[in-house]
Amino acid sequence: MGMWSIGAGALGAAALALLLANTDIFLSKSQKATLDYLEDIELKTLDTKPRIFKAKELWEKNGAVIMAVRRPGCFLCREEAAELSSLKPKLDELGVPLYAVVKEKIKTEVKDFQPYFKGEVFLDEKKMFYGPQRRKMMFMGFVRLGVWSNFFRARSGGFSGNLEGEGFILGGVFVVGAGKQGILLEHREKEFGDKVNPVSVLEAARKIKPQTLVSEKK
């Protein structure tokens, strides 16, 4: 009877832990970025002769859509990158560029990511695009039903990847207006594979007012 009680208690505790892991109670809380915060981020080009510049260069004239990639080799990140890239013809019509930032440059990871992402990629060594409050999902992610659903969705879509690099710091997607227009969309990945809604990205991009048009009106 005693062993049965212990076993039942352990089973109940495991069930409760599994239930709680699938709520948002223990998820890292995000903190919204400000335009000032994003503008001051230092990025580096991935050329043979890297150039360091302030992130505001990316959106100063025409705004921008920017993906903060959790890990280039992750098949879930590649799925989101491909989905964002499917918007590129419409973004090009709007004159809005598509960019991505990565936290590290390992082997050929960025090069291998490029077939999925149709925009320029920059290095954010200080991981500032993943802040202001950097969030992580550790092994709890692997007991979340939503994560497994995302795994199956990406796999069935034909996406594959590897385990190279840091993949616990969560990423996101930003749509930033031109000049001082501000942040028009900020999507923070809450769990592995929590991708942005492409319709929302396009709606936000249509609100961008290029600086050239603003200057002409003045």
Strand bridging mode 42-44 / 64-68: unpaired
Residue 1 appears among annotated catalytic residues: no
Q: Which of 21, 58, 67, 74 is catalytic?
A: 74
DSSP annotation string for 153-208: HHHHTT------S---B--EEEEE-STTS-EEEEEE--STT-PPPHHHHHHHHTT-
Residue 74 appears among annotated catalytic residues: yes
Q: Which of 68, 77, 102, 173 is catalytic?
A: 77
**Cα 120 to Cα 149: distance, rounded to the nearest angstrom:** 30
Asked if 53 and 168 count as a contact pair (C-beta separation under 8 A), the reply is no
- Here the tokens at position 194 are 């929590």
Active site residues: 74, 77
